[in-house]
Amino acid sequence: MILVVEVATLMKRRTFIQASMAAPVQAAQSAPRMPVLDYGRSFLAGVAPWNRVRFWVESRTRVIDERTGKQEDFLQCAACKSENTFAAKDLFHKDNYDFTPIFGPEFGVIFRRKAYLNPNYREVRKAAAMWDGQTRQLREAAEAQALSSAASIRKATHEGRPLVAQTEIFDQSTRLRAILEYPVKTMNIHDEKDLYQVDTGPVALPDLTRRHARLADSISLAFVAFNAPHFADFVIEDPTPIIESGREVTRVHHYSRLLTLRSENRLYAL
């Protein structure tokens, strides 16, 4: 069950999305649950002859517009470092930065994170202009066992099985829904208390609270955590002040903005 949400900003840059206790919102029939990807064998490749780069797909975000029925899938790929590709020497840029690409069907996003607050941190581009377009080499999992209890989650974790999560969120006012799917890189387990907690990222987190002309403009990088089926916590990369002796000396991009969302969390063992 997905509940209506409303935004309330609190102190210390912490933002909570609180559930309205009015009418609960059922998961829409127009939002089918995605077949689970095998993230160990899923890639995205450019087609440019000057660099047929291949990226490892780390997460997938499907945004569904319930007013129109349109949906778009965004593939968040593994980060790399800025480089002088195919150079004879000095392969890494001196003023280096983290490079994280996200590819959508029409527009993509490139995040460039330097040690300081660089102005070109975020760039939205036509997907066709990113390595002359892409081929999606996505492979579905041969088997995906739904884990419906903490005990089954603990068992699959101890057996060393790959785990994939789907976190579904919805905004009543915009009628936008998103399914975030990602391999679980870190799973915390407390056997005696029958507890688990997912902690993984980054993922492509869309802002569903307002409609953007380009969905790519709504996407931020975030890490996600959950230990129950009905909510998820996110920490979002944002401009973050560095304070020394009570004075702001600079700002950097850092995972610092906290967000809690009502969600439906599903876990699968491959």
pLDDT 10s digits, 202-260:
999 999 999 999 999 999 999 999 999 999 999 999 999 999 999 999 999 999 999 99
Q: Which amino acid is at 168?
A: E
User: Contact, 184 vs 192, CB < 8 A?
Assistant: no
Nearest CA among 215, 230, 217 for reference residue 63: 215
pLDDT digits (tens, 9 = 90+) for 24-75: 334 444 334 789 999 999 999 999 999 999 999 999 999 999 999 999 999 9
Are the C-beta atoms of 100 and 205 separated by less than 8 Å?
Answer: no
Beta strand spans in 138-227 (E): 145-147, 163-171, 176-183, 186-190, 195-206, 219-226
Task: Convert the pLDDT of each residue in 207-216 to its tens digit.
Answer: 999 999 999 9
| Contact (CB, 8 A) for 261 and 161 | no
| R_g of the chain, CA atoms, integer Å | 19
Q: How far apart are CA 99 and CA 101, in angstroms?
A: 7
pTM: 0.87
CB 233 within 8 A of CB 213: no
d(CA 86, CA 223): 32
Cα-flanking dihedrals φ and ψ of residue 48, to 5°?
-65, 135
The pLDDT score that the predictor gives to residue 33 is 74
